[in-house]
Amino acid sequence: MLTGAGISAESGISTFRDSDGLWEQYKVEDVASIEGWYKNPALMTRFYNERRKQLLDVKPNEAHRILAELEKDFDVTVITQNVDNLHERAGSSKIVHLHGELMKVTSSLDPNNPNFIRMLGEDELEVQIGDKAADGSQVRPFIVWFGEAVPEIERAVILTSQADIYLVIGTSLNVYPAAGLLNYVPDEADIYLIDPKPVPWNSGKRFTHIMKGASEGMKELKQYLYKDE
Ligand code: OAD
């Protein structure tokens, strides 16, 4: 399954492209591009410190919880574009974070080297300019920015190509390569989309659109998944 900002909206985290979204308040290139980091690492560090601290004030919602509960009856892998930790906190056990994780930092010289990726503790939410990674470079958020490769996409493609049921929740499908995953869903898989708005769907594959918010949509999805019982 593929999730986007919409699944965390009901927990109080803004989406990016809705009318009250983050990209109305900030310029993407200032806070979410590699050029932005080179230009103003202090601004980027502050922006992600704020977003990381927000995680203390939010909780997983019903949609995250239902997804985690589905593991009782299904082999569920969550591929998420979200950098929050709400899927983990709801209890999902297999999660691929395509765009990185707010609670991790890494080396600014070699960001995808596992030796330098570090989970922050709850008392380390504020990273400073001057904090060093294990290779001695400035610490940076472990976030995939525009202009950077998406190392987890290969794993996500393999997992997607093995799906019997594919669920897409709360993503505007604007950002590639994540949106391109739909091309790898097997033709015989059942595809469900949960989003209160129409979403540009370029894959040509048939899908069932549950036009609701994530929590209500997940309740309805359960009826489809358990219809034979
Ligand atoms: P977007 O903000 O582009 O899209 C959010 C989607 O969630 C839209 O289709 C909304 O209609 C839908 N939505 C809003 N409220 C919802 C609710 N209560 N329940 C379900 N759906 C709801 O967010 P993403 O598609 O996740 O990347 O954005 C993709 C990437 O763009 C992000 O990972 C981020 C951003 O730039 C980076 O920063 C690299």
Could you say which DSSP state residue 60 is in? Answer: -
Q: What is the strand order of the sheet 118-119 is part of?
A: 118-119, 100-107, 139-143
Ligand 1: atom nearest CA of 172 is 9
Burial class (CB in 10 A: 0-12, 13-18, 19+), 58: middle
Q: Is 144 in the pocket of ligand 1 (CB under 6 A)?
A: yes
State the distance between the two ends of the chain, measured CA to CA, in whole angstroms: 23
Instruction: Please tell me the predicted confidence (pLDDT) of residue 202.
Output: 79
- For the chain (229 residues), the mean pLDDT of every run of 10, in chain order, is 98 93 90 97 96 96 98 98 98 98 98 97 95 98 97 98 98 95 96 96 89 98 89
pTM beyond 0.95: the answer is: yes
171 contacts 181 by C-beta, under 8 angstroms: no
* DSSP codes of every residue in 110-146: STT-GGG-EEPPTT-----TT-B-TTSSBEEEEEPPB
Instruction: Please tell me the predicted confidence (pLDDT) of residue 201.
Output: 86
- Tell me the one-letter amino acid at 196: P
Cα–Cα separations (whole angstroms), residue 90 to 6, 51, 62, 78, 98: 16, 19, 9, 12, 18
Burial class (CB in 10 A: 0-12, 13-18, 19+), 137: middle
Q: Is 6 in the pocket of ligand 1 (CB under 6 A)?
A: yes
Q: Is 128 in the pocket of ligand 1 (CB under 6 A)?
A: no
Distance from residue 132's CA to the centre of ligand 1 (Å): 32
At residue 53, the 3 state secondary structure works out as: helix
Task: Quote the tokens at residue 187.
Answer: 């033709």
96 contacts 78 by C-beta, under 8 angstroms: yes
Instruction: Please tell me the predicted confidence (pLDDT) of residue 91.
Output: 98
Instruction: Report how far residue 73's alpha carbon sits from residue 92's, in angstroms, rounded to the nearest whole number.
Output: 13
169 contacts 195 by C-beta, under 8 angstroms: yes
Catalytic residue among 64, 87, 97, 99: 99
- Tell me the one-letter amino acid at 160: T
* Spacing of C-alpha 182 from chain mean position: 16
Instruction: Please tell me the predicted confidence (pLDDT) of residue 204.
Output: 84
Q: What is the strand order of the sheet 78-80 is part of?
A: 95-97, 78-80, 2-3, 165-169, 190-194, 208-210
